[in-house]
Amino acid sequence: MIPSLVALAALFVYPVFLLFRMSFQQLGFGELVRRATVYTGFDNYTSLLGDPEFWHVVVRTVAFTAVCVGLTMALGTGIGLLLVRLGRKMTIAVSISLVLAWAIPIVTATTLWQWMFDSTYGVVNFVLGTPGHDWFASGVSTFAVIVIIIVWQAVPFVAFTVQAGVLTIPEEYYEAARMDGASGFRAFRAVTVPILRPILTVLAFLSTIWDFKVFTQVFAVRQGGPDGSTVTLPVYLYNQGIASSQYGLAAAGAVLMVALLAIAMVLYLRHMLRTELDE
C-alpha cells in the first residue's frame, strides 16, 4: 500500500503541485536562465480570464469535444454490437482493420488524412469529383477533417470495449427475455442496454477527457488555422504560454483545464451514484 502511495505521489501529486505553484509565478525564459522566482499572485489567472478570446476558445473546445465524443460513442457502440453478430471471418477482418487504425501513430495518421483531403492530390476530391476543392480554407471544414481524424482513431477502443461487454452477458438472460415474449429489440433494450450502461458511461467520460485535451491533431493540421478558427484550449495555451515563453501563464491555463475536467468528473460520479441508487 505504502509503495503505491509513494508512486502515486511521485507521478501525480508532486507534478500537479509544481504546476499549481508555477501558475502564480512570472516564469519566462529569462527567469529560467537566471533561476529567478517572481511571484505575481493571481496575475496569470486574471490575464487569462480577462481575455475574451479565452472564453471563445473554451466554448469552441466544449463544442468540439461534444461532437467528437458523440460521434465516437455512436460509431464505436454500433461497430462493437456489429462485431458480436458478424461471422468469424468478418469479425477477424473488421477487428484487424480497427487495430490498424488504432495502432497508427497520431502524427502519421494526421499526415495520411491531410494527404487524402489535399486539394490537388487528395483521394477525397477524386472520389467526390470536386477537383481543387480546399478542405482547409474555412474553419468549419478544417474542424470536420480534424474530427474525422480523432474519431477514426478513437472508435476502435470503444468498439472493442462494447464487444467485450456484450460477450460477458450470459445467454440465459436473453433466453429468459424470449420466454417472456420479448422481441429482439425489446430483449436488447431490457438486457443489453442496462448491462452496458455503466460501461458506456465510463467510455463517454474517458472520451471527454481525451478529446478535451487533444493537441497534436489540431496543431499538426493547421496550427489552429485558418485565422485561428480551429484553435482549441490546448493550442491556445501553447500559443499564449509555451510559444511565447510565458510558462507561468501556460501553467495557469493548465490548472484551469484541470479544474474544468474535475467538474466533469464530479458530474460523472454524481451520475454514477444516482444510477446505482435508482437500481
DSSP per-residue string spanning the chain: -HHHHHHHIIIIIHHHHHHHHHTTB--BHHHHHHT---B-TTHHHHHHHT-HHHHHHHHHHHHHHHHHHHHHHHHHHHHHHHHHHS-HHHHHHHHHHHHHHHHS-HHHHHHHHHHHT-TTT-HHHHHHT-TT--TTSSHHHHHHHHHHHHHHHHHHHHHHHHHHHHHTS-HHHHHHHHHTT--HHHHIIIIIHHHHHHHHHHHHHHHHHHHHT--HHHHHHHTT-STTTT--HHHHHIIIIITTTBHHHHHHHHHHHHHHHHHHHHHHHHHHHHHHHH-
Out of 1.20.1260.10, 3.65.10.10, 1.20.1050.90, 1.10.3720.10, the CATH code matching 45-278 is 1.10.3720.10
158 in Cβ contact with 140 (< 8 Å) = no
**pLDDT score for 1:** 61
Cβ neighbour number for residue 126 with a 10 Å cutoff:
11
DSSP per-residue string spanning 56-67: HHHHHHHHHHHH
**pLDDT score for 182:** 66
Residues paired with residue 28 on neighbouring β-strands, in sequence order = 246
Angstrom distance (rounded) from CA 138 to CA 227: 9
202 closest CA partner among 102, 82, 69: 69
Angstrom distance (rounded) from CA 37 to CA 56: 32
pLDDT tens for each residue of the chain, 279 residues long: 677 767 766 777 788 888 888 888 887 777 766 777 778 888 889 988 888 888 999 999 999 999 999 999 999 999 999 998 888 899 899 999 999 998 999 999 999 999 999 888 889 998 888 888 888 888 889 999 999 999 999 999 999 999 998 888 887 777 777 776 666 677 777 777 888 888 888 899 899 999 998 999 999 988 887 888 899 999 998 888 777 778 888 889 889 988 888 888 888 778 777 766 665
**pLDDT score for 153:** 93
Extents of the domains making up the chain = 45-278
Count CA within 13 A, CB hemisphere, residue 34.
9
26 closest CA partner among 13, 15, 36: 36
57 closest CA partner among 249, 218, 230: 230
**pLDDT score for 38:** 79
98 in Cβ contact with 156 (< 8 Å) = yes
Q: Is 96 exposed, middle or buried (0-12, 13-18, 19+ CB in 10 A)?
A: exposed
250 in Cβ contact with 238 (< 8 Å) = yes
pTM of the shown model: 0.86
**pLDDT score for 59:** 93
Q: Which amino acid is at 187?
A: A
